[in-house]
Amino acid sequence: MKPPLIGLTTYPAGQGHGYHTPVDYVHAVVRAGGAPVLLPPVGAAAIDSWLDALDGVVLIGGGDIDPELFDGGDHPTIYNLSPERDHTETALARALLQRKLPTLAICRGLQILNTVLGGTLHLHLPDVVGEAVEHRVAPRDPTLHRVRVAADSCLAGLLGSTEVATKSWHHQAIDQPGQGVQAVAWAADGVIEAIEVAGFPQLIAVQWHPELSAREDSSQQGLFDELVRMSSKRSH
């Protein structure tokens, strides 16, 4: 029985290194029984070929999305903009929605999905909700906080709880949900921490970073396990 092929998006190439994906994502996919394949931000032309071959996709975290994609203005904290990554991942997200391919969207990945569905983002959370809940530690380090999950959501069933400890690493989050987007988890300050999308039951989308605690936390690893389980139905 061959393992399902799971595509993972990547950071852009930079000086001294090529396209890359943090190892925590890769290890979580491997623990779940998937075979990881990296998807570099090289434009939309490759996407149909990718999705013809892949059984599932992880839209990983990373730098901010260009606010021009959701008419969001500007902010001095915006960082690591990448036009080529935005272009590739927005096209990929639209294709995933159309094909209903099993998808795990993490942090930036969730924001990409909300953006292509017509939603918007808060440009800098401390300006909106204050700092009672830390969503990252300066300069951009992850931090731990709890999240409340809607009891009737698919996500609560996957996590086995309506309250979970999460590792968080972001300064932006959903402002206006896109078409068909339903918030299903929230931080104590009201920040949306997970979504589900109408007509796309193959989607798991969280604002936090499950890969950072998946090795020690079976509920977070379970999100990758479920992605691979759904993907296995396609590969056999």
**Residue among 89, 193, 196, 211 flagged as catalytic:** 211
Alpha carbons 111 and 172: distance in angstroms, whole number:
9
Question: At 9, which helix (H) or strand (E)?
Answer: strand 5-9
SS3 at position 147: strand
From 166, 210, 197, 234, select the one nearest 29 (Cα to Cα): 210
From 77, 81, 41, 76, select the one nearest 64 (Cα to Cα): 81
Query: Do 168 and 181 contact (CB within 8 A), yes or no?
Result: no
Write the CB contacts of 157 (distance below 8 Å, at least 6 apart in sequence): none
**Residue among 107, 135, 171, 226 flagged as catalytic:** 107
> Is 154 annotated as catalytic?
no
Residue where the block lists tokens 């906080």: 145
**Residue among 122, 170, 171, 209 flagged as catalytic:** 209
Alpha carbons 203 and 184: distance in angstroms, whole number:
13
Residue where the block lists tokens 């589900």: 196
- β-pairing, 192-197 vs 181-187, is antiparallel
Query: Do 79 and 63 contact (CB within 8 A), yes or no?
Result: yes
Residue where the block lists tokens 């808060």: 122
Question: At 227, which helix (H) or strand (E)?
Answer: helix 218-235
Catalytic positions, written as ranges? 107, 209, 211
